[in-house]
A = this chain, B = another copy of it.
């Protein structure tokens, strides 16, 4: 008689963030495909834009991916002239990666696509709710040590 209705799995924050994160990432992938980029490529451009030029190993740690993945992502971006690889003259083992102007343009286009997708996703919210959601997500990201 004092039983309470148990919270369904689909009502957990975990489930909803997981599903919505996958949904929006899929949609972003669709859009960035037009620029010849996977989502991880865009993540790499964004990391370089946000933290400045850095070595591949630093980038791997920042992006939380294996160093071998940075190689193939960087190969692709270098092939598109979106980044430059520069041997560090002080330590010739290190490749210093930096954005080119065209990489910066590409990132701007992808950022605009992301912005539009976010607006779509939150089109059922009013402006205050949308701003509140952004603040809450930003607070969590900050607490988790994520960029930016």
Contact = CB atoms under 8 A, between A and B. Distances in A.
A24 B139 CA distance: 15
Contact of A21 (B10, B17, B125): B17
Interface in A98-148: 107-108, 110-111, 114-115, 117-118, 121-125, 129, 132-134, 136-144, 146-148
Give the number of copies in the complex. Answer: 2
A145 to B, nearest CB: 11
16 contacts: A7-B115, A8-B46, A9-B111, A10-B50, A13-B24, A13-B121, A13-B122, A13-B137, A16-B134, A16-B141, A17-B121, A18-B39, A22-B22, A124-B140, A125-B136, A136-B136
